[in-house]
């Protein structure tokens, strides 16, 4: 994706909060969400983040701030979900983004180009006053497993006499997840019940999971789908991706260990998945692309997963953190504890390769479908994307800021995920945060 003036860090917005250092949502970002004012019965609708405000697209249309193709795109976008806008494709996404950029950039020397800021200010809603809904009607959800650092750590922890499954280095492995339990940031997650097989026992028991975990992931929203039976080439795959968000793939490890063989995690994963409200577009992420490399002594991707462009700029350097806030910390207003910090640049497979592999058999993706990247871990212990890895399966608990230990999540814990991109010469692009809180299990009936 080519760089253009929407990536120019020297261009500022007339909205002062968008120009603050370390702002997640500068003019160069402009991510999308579905929102409404808190405590209001108004309809959910699409908005774009700028500084500490939400640009209300429906209001922009009422004020006649857009014209031509940008107005058509905004009409599709200013609904209760982004599916129709997704389906319009990259030209519409780019046109609307550039039109919004032009409206909210600081005036130049040409006064004829100065926007009517009073009109535009009427189209802003403070983010502190809004609530969010899922950004799209998600038809299908597929969760990948694409961090080789995470995969190798799990094998060492759980099956030290085994080796990494050989297919991992030949294709992006995945399973189909549950759409109905996907929630937006702020989701309250009930600790799940399920079968567990205790060590030394031959008969399982049904009880609440004692090893509840998070998984740090990115969510990948499909923009334009494909026809059934027509695979998406890896060279075209990113034209089918609208953007990325933060994703927490909650996991009940004790249920997972007993249930996964032979058909997958099922009840260990289907009770909840939490995503952040803001979708950062692939165009906004263009300055943070990097070469994707596969060590020469490891299997090279098959032809349908390989392309020069994927080799030269298939990776994305997205910095990611996980924070944990216990109920005790929250009650005392004590600082939260950062558990890990890693980057998406370590991922073994790229976004384009995930999309290409998903469709190689003829699977038809649809606008609004969601893919999970799989747990994102780096090569060092401090870059672990899940507690099972960070605590060596519970053997070495981490200490929170107030001294509380954690092997796995406890009731009342809130998991907060953050993400951003930084590179000298470019504006910092943020993802906001993804927060979810653990509630006690319901009594077993």
Bridge pairing between strands 32-37 and 130-133: antiparallel
Structure tokens at 337: 């504890």
Q: Are strands 429-439 and 187-190 parallel, antiparallel or unpaired?
A: parallel
Which of 338, 300, 204, 221 shows the shortest CA–CA distance to 259? 204
445 is a domain residue:
no
Task: Name residue, tokens 């909840």.
Answer: 272
Domain span holding position 280: 141-439
Number of domains the chain contains: 2
pLDDT average, residue stretch 230-236:
98
- Does 312 share its domain with 345? yes
The pLDDT value recorded for residue 403 is 87
Going by pLDDT thresholds of 50, 70 and 90, the confidence category of residue 93 is very high
Based on the residue annotation, tell me whether 290 is a catalytic residue of this protein: no
pLDDT confidence of residue 9: 97
Q: What is the pLDDT of residue 146?
A: 97
Give the mean pLDDT of the chain: 95
Phi, psi angle pair for 431, to nearest 5° = -110, 0
- The span from the CA of 294 to the CA of 303, in Å, is 14
Return the closest-CA partner of residue 48 out of 68, 24, 69, 67. Answer: 24
Contact 314, 286 (CB under 8 A): no
pTM (predicted TM-score): 0.97
Q: Inform me whether the pLDDT recorded for 405 exceeds 80.
A: yes
Query: What's the CA gap between 149 and 131, in Å, rounded?
Result: 36
Question: Which residue, among 280, 271, 220, has the nearest Cα to 249 in the 3D structure?
Answer: 271
pLDDT of residue 288: 98
pLDDT in tens, 247-274: 999 999 999 999 888 888 999 999 999 9
CB < 8 Å & 24+ apart, contacts of 196-203: 196/254, 196/255, 196/258, 197/257, 197/258
Q: What is the pLDDT of residues 46-60, one digit of tens each?
A: 999 999 999 999 999
**Pair (178, 43) in one structural domain:** no
pLDDT mean over 127-149:
98
At 161 the pLDDT is: 80
Same domain, 87 and 204: no
Same-domain status, 124 and 151: no
Query: Do residues 41 and 117 share a domain?
Result: yes
The tokens describing 220, both together, are 């990948």
Start-to-end CA distance of the chain, whole Å, equals 54
Q: Pick the catalytic residue: 22, 98, 150, 357? A: 150
Reported as a single tens digit per residue, the pLDDT across 29-42 is: 999 999 999 998 99
Query: Do 217 and 335 sit in the same domain of this protein?
Result: yes
- Please tell me the distance from the alpha carbon of residue 293 to that of residue 172, in angstroms, as a whole number: 15
pLDDT at residue 84 greater than cutoff 60: yes
| Cα–Cα dist 392/385, whole Å | 12
How is the chain split among helix, strand and coil, in percent rounded to 5?
Answer: 25, 25, 45
Task: Reply yes or no on whether the pLDDT at 171 is more than 60.
Answer: yes
CA distance 412 to 260: 27
Using one digit for the tens of pLDDT, what is the confidence trace for 288-333? 999 999 999 999 999 999 999 999 999 999 999 999 999 999 999 9
Mean pLDDT of 86-102: 98
Is the pLDDT score of 347 beyond 80? yes
Do residues 151 and 119 both lie within one domain? no
d(CA 318, CA 288): 8
Q: Taking residues 68-83, report their average pLDDT.
A: 96
pLDDT tops 90 at residue 124: yes
Preceding peptide of 262 cis, ω within 30°: yes
H or E element that contains 253: helix 253-259
**Mean pLDDT value of segment 435-441:** 98
| Rounded CA separation 123/48 (Å) | 11
CATH code of the domain covering residue 98:
2.30.30.230
Helix (H) or strand (E) holding 247, with range, is: strand 241-248
Instruction: Give the end of a domain, one of 133, 160, 194.
Output: 133
Average pLDDT over residues 175-186: 97
Are residues 126 and 169 located together in one domain of the fold?
no
Residue 64: inside a domain: yes
Judgement on whether residues 190 and 82 belong to the same structural domain of the protein: no
Q: Dig out the tokens for 28 from the structure.
A: 């160069």
Considering the domain architecture, whether residues 176 and 43 belong to the same structural domain is answered as no
Note whether 322 and 413 are same-domain residues. yes
CATH at 433: 3.90.850.10
Q: 339 in a domain, yes or no?
A: yes
Cα–Cα–Cα angle for 7, 11, 15, rounded to 5 degrees: 115
112 and 201 share one domain: no
The domain boundary residue, chosen from 109, 133, 157: 133
Instruction: Decide if pLDDT at 2 tops 90.
Output: no
Give percent of the chain with pLDDT exceeding 90: 91
* pLDDT higher than threshold 90 for residue 360: yes
- What's the whole-number mean pLDDT along residues 125-129? 98
Q: How confident is the model at residue 160, as a pLDDT?
A: 81
Q: Which of 133, 158, 175 is the last residue of a domain?
A: 133
């Amino acid at each position: 994706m080519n760089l253009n003036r929407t990536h120019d860090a020297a261009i500022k917005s007339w909205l002062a909060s968008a120009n603050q250092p370390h702002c997640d949502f500068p003019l160069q970002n402009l991510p999308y969400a579905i929102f409404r004012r808190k405590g209001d019965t108004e309809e959910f609708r699409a908005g774009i983040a700028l500084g500490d405000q939400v640009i209300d697209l429906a209001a922009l249309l009422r004020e006649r701030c857009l014209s031509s193709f940008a107005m058509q795109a905004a009409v599709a976008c200013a609904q209760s979900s982004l599916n129709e806008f997704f389906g319009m494709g990259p030209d519409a996404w780019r046109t609307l983004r550039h039109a919004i950029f032009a409206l909210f950039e600081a005036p130049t020397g040409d006064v004829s180009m100065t926007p009517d800021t009073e009109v535009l200010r009427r189209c802003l809603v403070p983010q502190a006053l809004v609530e969010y809904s899922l950004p799209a009607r998600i038809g299908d959800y597929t969760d990948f497993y694409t961090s080789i650092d995470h995969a190798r750590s799990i094998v060492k922890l759980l099956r030290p006499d085994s080796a990494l499954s050989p297919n991992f280095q030949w294709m992006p492995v995945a399973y189909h997840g549950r759409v109905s339990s996907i929630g937006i940031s702020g989701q309250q997650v009930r600790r799940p019940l399920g079968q567990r097989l205790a060590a030394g026992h031959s008969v399982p028991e049904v009880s609440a999971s004692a090893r509840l975990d998070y998984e740090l992931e990115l969510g990948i929203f499909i923009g334009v789908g494909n026809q059934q039976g027509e695979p998406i080439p890896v060279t075209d795959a990113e034209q089918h991706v609208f953007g990325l968000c933060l994703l927490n793939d909650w996991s009940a490890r004790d249920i997972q260990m007993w249930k996964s063989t032979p058909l997958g995690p099922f009840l260990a994963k289907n009770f909840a998945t939490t995503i952040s409200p803001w979708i950062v577009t692939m165009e906004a992420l263009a300055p943070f692309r990097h070469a994707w490399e596969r060590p020469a002594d490891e299997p090279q991707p098959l032809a349908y997963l390989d392309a020069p462009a994927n080799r030269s700029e298939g990776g994305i350097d997205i910095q990611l953190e996980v924070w944990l806030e216990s109920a005790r910390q929250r009650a005392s207003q004590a600082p939260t504890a950062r558990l890990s910090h890693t980057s998406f640049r370590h991922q073994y497979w790229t976004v384009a390769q995930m999309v290409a592999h998903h469709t190689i058999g003829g699977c038809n993706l649809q606008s609004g479908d969601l893919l999970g990247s799989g747990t994102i871990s780096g090569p060092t212990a401090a870059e672990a994307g899940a507690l099972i890895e960070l605590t060596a399966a519970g053997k070495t608990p981490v200490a929170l800021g107030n001294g509380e230990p954690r092997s796995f999540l406890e009731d009342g814990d809130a998991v907060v995920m953050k993400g951003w991109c930084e590179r000298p010469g470019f504006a910092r692009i943020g993802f906001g945060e993804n927060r979810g809180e653990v509630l006690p299990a319901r009594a077993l009936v």
